[in-house]
Amino acid sequence: MLLKRKIQHLQSRLISMKKIFLLILFFCFQYLIAQNNPLENNLTSKDRIIEIFYIKDSINVYYNKNKIPRPLMKALKNKFDGNFNIVNPGKKYRKTDVVRNIFLPNNQLIFLLKRDNYYGLVFKQGGRALITYFVFAEIIYKNVNELQFYTISSQITNVNEFIEELKSGKFYPSNWLNFK
């Protein structure tokens, strides 16, 4: 009888300890996820981007791939496993997954935006599906401090269309690139 009581007591303590352990584990995971998520609060990130690029007169617009800062190009090459090449607007690039010319890059620059330390790179990526990406970056002292990738729902051809897409919030985090 005494042994049975001790076993029941240990079982009840074990159940209590399991509950406490699970509770601690839950809070630890919640904390870790919040720490490692660059898009922790998508609305705040989007609002910040809109605020930075909202006024067209306060940003510089470039249509030449040579204006893309080296730290940003290096970060893009890292994200795309060394396979990020881009051509200027209007130049030929590989729009589909059919490889007719192995020397053509998959990406075509639409434009590059710059305001202070912030950059917005908008480009088309060919392949299985033609996708328009928006890359938001903050570069401080030749280091990419922040890098976020977004997909834009419509085909962008100029800065005015892009700003309208920003205002309407029709750009979505590309999670497979943001957490890679």
Q: What is the pLDDT of residue 39?
A: 46
Residue ranges of alpha helices (H) inside the chain are 2-36, 42-53, 70-79, 159-168, 175-178
Residue 96 to residue 100: CA distance in whole angstroms:
10
Q: What is the pLDDT of residue 9?
A: 66
Per the listing, tokens 């584990």 go with: 25
Helix axes 42-53, 159-168, angle to 10 degrees: 150
Q: What is the pLDDT of residue 26?
A: 59
Q: What is the pLDDT of residue 10?
A: 60
Distances (CA, A) of 150 to 10, 26, 163, 166, 175: 53, 30, 14, 11, 8
- The mean pLDDT values, 10 residues at a time, for the chain of 180 residues are 67 67 61 49 69 83 95 91 84 67 77 94 80 91 90 85 85 70
Q: What is the pLDDT of residue 52?
A: 87
